[in-house]
């Protein structure tokens, strides 16, 4: 019994080194060294190099990886394979156990190996214990050996961790971590009986020189950037009282929103706010036409309500049905050749027009697929899923988070965002991370509906937030690729005119062309060059040229007496910002180990992820086209996130010291935390010991 418990503990400890990797349908940015965030950044960097950046594995380990990949591809496939892996409903180990005995690449027609596979224990933990003994792994070496089985194929391990820890609605996944290691160690035992030498190989890896060179270059970039941005914010410090704005816009804190906000504000009397793009309503969307169901909220939260989205245009249902039929025929080996023969001419004509006239072809397709301008795109079942009391609470939380509790304009627009690209496996990585890698228009529509309800307005009035009867909330969608802003529903002519006036000429023609070009490798830069997370009133940043590099979260410290709003921002949006920053940082530092290499040589596997070629590890990061201008010139800069907060420093310190997650990020130098203290108008840096050090401009 003791040995069983020890093995279980060792398995869990080995998995702590692995960060999760989300599938292509809803890519979420994650720090690939998330498992080392309790360590100082420099030490974690060394571990990352040693565990994840090695490519010169022993030949035996490369063979083990090849045999492992073919099984993981089969088990995790989500519809690309023509024939599904038998027994998948039993879980990874149990299904593999039934089939592995027939794999000659594993048993090599050796009778002893055949018998070993035939007589495998039904308990995956027991098998791991047996193989550790057979491989002569000593007790003190067991955790390290299990860790190396994960880190020598880290991409597939990362996806397994996502399935086990984040996709918890599948009973097959309850033992996935143990099952995964069981499969890995059995294959290792069969193909490399002397695998214990992997431990000695790992000890020979040198990391210090590489790590120090990277950190030195990084620190230089960070100091230069901080000096530049604090100098810009210095000129924007003076608060200004402006007249009532014509329209108020609430955008996601995404760095791509900042340039658009500036353009709108420069057009006249308009005011913008920044808030997490799910608009403080954690929901799950169920599409009645596609039958898809997904969470539209940050992954750090759990969706509390399932909103049913119903479509009332018959041709949309027909289009969805045709898509399903086409996919079924495309991936069935008995019909794929016939499909090519039947549709070859039409496909050729389509390809010709998509290549020669990409913009017009895409516009024509969208006109056919999308709804007419005279009707709402769909119906969202808000009242069936969210009680009126809960709606009131969500409305209050959103307005408080934005700091919009007075001086309401007559039109307030909640702007969700999405991207528009063709032939792009990474499309969801360009959508709203706060909405789980999806478009943010559903959340914007739902929250606008809630805020327009008389019962909700009555509740808010009792809470001291008085919204004039003439004020109307609208939902809009910001397309970050084309940089266009459009209302989600048709409204009266006067309001449409005011909205068009505020949002005219935000986009450039070349961005629209890129969004429609199916050969475009860089449809947009996404969140490349992200560098700072600013928590402050807009008055601090409004006159500063932030170059589209800052996450902007609106915050008014004077309206947050107990600091609870700031606490939510730091625990939620700032942590997500750090994940995004780390993904870009490490993908640039090593475009293969942490990134996904070039799009040119990539293949989609199982509809879940990217491989280089047809049998590589699962690639978990960003492609070079999202990071580099050319093969030798970088567009993104390798630097850690600088979090700049305008609030009393004692309030910030209490929050950081109360939450170990935040304390680790600062004390281990995963982020730089800078306070602009409104009580003395001075700047301070939080040091690794969590004390404050005053910053003098020019000596950041």
Q: pLDDT tens digits, residue range 12-27? A: 999 999 999 999 999 9
pLDDT at residue 296 tops 60: yes
pLDDT at residue 548 tops 80: yes
- Compute the average pLDDT of residues 282-296: 88
- Compute the average pLDDT of residues 403-413: 95
Does a structural domain hold residue 493?
A: no
Q: How many domains does the chain have?
A: 1
Q: Which pLDDT tens digit goes with each residue over 433-446?
A: 999 999 999 999 99
Q: Kindly report which listed range (82-86, 145-149, 690-694) carries the lowest average pLDDT score.
A: 82-86
pLDDT-based confidence at residue 305 (cuts at 50, 70, 90): very high
DSSP per-residue string spanning 132-193: HHHTT--GGGHHHHHHHHHHTSHHHHHHHHHHHHT-TT-GGGTTHHHHHHHHHHHHHHHH-T
Tell me, what's the pLDDT at 2?
43
Does a structural domain hold residue 307?
A: no
pLDDT at residue 700 tops 70: no
d(Cα 602, Cα 609) in Å, to the nearest integer? 10
Tell me, what's the pLDDT at 366?
63
- Rg, the chain, Cα only: 27
Give the structural domain span for 74: 2-30+55-203
Q: Which pLDDT tens digit goes with each residue over 614-638?
A: 889 999 999 999 999 988 899 999 9
**pTM given for the model:** 0.92
pLDDT at residue 549 tops 80: yes
- Compute the average pLDDT of residues 297-304: 89
Selected residue with higher pLDDT from 345 and 271 = 271
Whether residue 252 contacts residue 416, with contact meaning beta carbons closer than 8 Å, is answered with yes
pLDDT at residue 365 tops 70: no
Does a structural domain hold residue 634?
A: no
pLDDT-based confidence at residue 371 (cuts at 50, 70, 90): very low
Q: Which pLDDT tens digit goes with each residue over 156-167?
A: 999 999 999 998
Does a structural domain hold residue 623?
A: no
Does a structural domain hold residue 176?
A: yes
Which of 649, 656, 645, 592 shows the shortest CA–CA distance to 623? 592
Tell me, what's the pLDDT at 489?
87
pLDDT-based confidence at residue 39 (cuts at 50, 70, 90): very high
Highest mean pLDDT, choosing among 7-11, 88-92, 187-191: 187-191
- Compute the average pLDDT of residues 300-326: 73
d(Cα 111, Cα 414) in Å, to the nearest integer? 67
Does a structural domain hold residue 105?
A: yes
pLDDT-based confidence at residue 350 (cuts at 50, 70, 90): low
Which of 17, 15, 23, 76 shows the shortest CA–CA distance to 619? 23
**Residue 414, SS3 per DSSP:** strand
Q: Kindly report which listed range (194-208, 234-248, 401-415, 549-563) carries the lowest average pLDDT score.
A: 234-248
pLDDT at residue 651 tops 80: yes
Does a structural domain hold residue 116?
A: yes
pLDDT over 70, % of the chain: 87
Does a structural domain hold residue 557?
A: no
Tell me, what's the pLDDT at 505?
86
- Is beta strand 532-536 parallel, antiparallel or unpaired with respect to 283-287? unpaired
């Amino acid at each position: 019994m003791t040995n069983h418990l020890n093995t279980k503990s060792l398995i869990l400890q080995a998995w702590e080194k692995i960060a999760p990797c989300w599938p292509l349908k809803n890519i979420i940015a994650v720090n690939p060294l998330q498992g080392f965030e309790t360590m100082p950044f420099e030490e974690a960097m060394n571990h990352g190099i040693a565990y994840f950046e090695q490519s010169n594995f022993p030949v035996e380990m490369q063979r083990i990886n090849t045999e492992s990949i073919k099984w993981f591809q089969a088990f995790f496939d989500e519809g690309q394979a023509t024939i599904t892996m038998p027994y998948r409903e039993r879980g990874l180990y149990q299904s593999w156990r039934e089939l592995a005995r027939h794999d000659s690449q594993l048993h090599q027609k050796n009778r002893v190996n055949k018998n070993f596979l035939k007589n495998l224990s039904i308990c995956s933990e027991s098998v791991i214990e047996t193989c550790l003994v057979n491989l002569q792994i000593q007790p003190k070496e067991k955790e390290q050996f299990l860790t190396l089985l994960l880190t020598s194929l880290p991409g597939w391990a990362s996806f397994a961790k996502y399935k086990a820890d984040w996709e918890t609605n599948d009973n097959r996944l309850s033992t996935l971590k143990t099952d995964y290691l069981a499969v890995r160690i059995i294959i290792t035992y069969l193909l490399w009986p002397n695998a214990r030498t992997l431990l000695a190989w790992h000890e020979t890896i040198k990391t210090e020189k590489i790590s120090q060179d990277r950190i030195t270059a990084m620190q230089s970039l960070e100091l230069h950037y901080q000096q530049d941005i604090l100098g810009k914010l210095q000129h924007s410090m003076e608060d200004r009282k402006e007249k009532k704005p014509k329209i108020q816009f609430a955008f996601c804190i995404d760095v791509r929103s900042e340039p658009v906000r500036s353009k709108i504000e420069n057009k006249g009397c308009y005011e913008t706010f920044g808030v997490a793009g799910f608009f403080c309503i954690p929901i799950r969307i169920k599409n009645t036409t596609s039958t898809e169901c997904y969470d539209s909220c940050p992954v750090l939260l759990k969706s509390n309500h399932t909103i049913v989205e119903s479509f009332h245009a018959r041709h949309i249902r027909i289009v969805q049905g045709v898509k399903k039929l086409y996919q079924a025929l495309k991936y069935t080996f008995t019909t794929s050749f016939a499909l090519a023969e039947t549709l070859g001419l039409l496909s050729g004509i389509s390809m010709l027009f998509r290549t020669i006239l990409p913009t017009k072809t895409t516009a024509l397709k969208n006109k056919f697929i999308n709804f007419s301008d005279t009707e709402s795109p769909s119906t969202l079942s808000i009242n069936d899923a969210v009680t009126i009391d809960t709606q009131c609470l969500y409305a209050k939380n959103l307005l408080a988070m934005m700091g919009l509790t007075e001086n309401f304009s007559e039109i307030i627009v909640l702007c969700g965002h999405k991207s528009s690209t063709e032939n792009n496996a990474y499309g969801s990585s360009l959508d709203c991370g706060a909405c789980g890698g999806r478009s943010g228009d559903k959340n914007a529509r739902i929250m606008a509906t809630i805020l327009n309800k008389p019962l909700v307005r009555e509740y808010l009035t009792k809470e001291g937030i008085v919204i004039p009867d003439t004020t109307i909330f609208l939902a809009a969608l910001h397309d970050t690729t084309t940089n266009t802003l459009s209302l989600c529903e048709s409204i009266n002519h006067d309001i449409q005119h005011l909205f068009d006036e505020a949002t005219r000429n935000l986009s450039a023609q070349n961005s629209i062309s890129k969004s429609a070009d199916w050969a475009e490798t860089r449809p947009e830069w996404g969140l490349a060059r992200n560098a700072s997370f600013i928590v402050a009133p807009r008055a601090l940043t409004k006159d500063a040229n932030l170059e589209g590099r800052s996450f902007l979260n609106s915050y008014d410290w004077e309206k947050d007496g107990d600091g609870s709003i700031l606490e939510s921002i730091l625990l939620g949006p700032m942590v997500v910002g750090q994940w995004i920053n780390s993904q870009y940082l490490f993908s640039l530092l090593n475009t293969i180990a942490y990134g996904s290499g070039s799009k040119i040589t990539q293949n989609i596997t199982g509809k879940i992820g990217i491989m280089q070629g047809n049998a590589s590890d699962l690639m978990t990061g960003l492609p070079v086209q999202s990071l580099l201008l050319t093969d030798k010139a970088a567009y993104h800069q390798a630097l850690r996130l600088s979090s700049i907060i305008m609030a009393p420093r004692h309030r910030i310190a209490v929050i950081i010291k109360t939450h170990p997650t935040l304390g680790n990020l600062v004390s281990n130098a995963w982020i730089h935390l800078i306070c602009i203290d409104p009580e003395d108008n001075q700047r301070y840096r939080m040091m690794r010991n969590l004390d404050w050090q005053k910053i003098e401009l020019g000596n950041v």
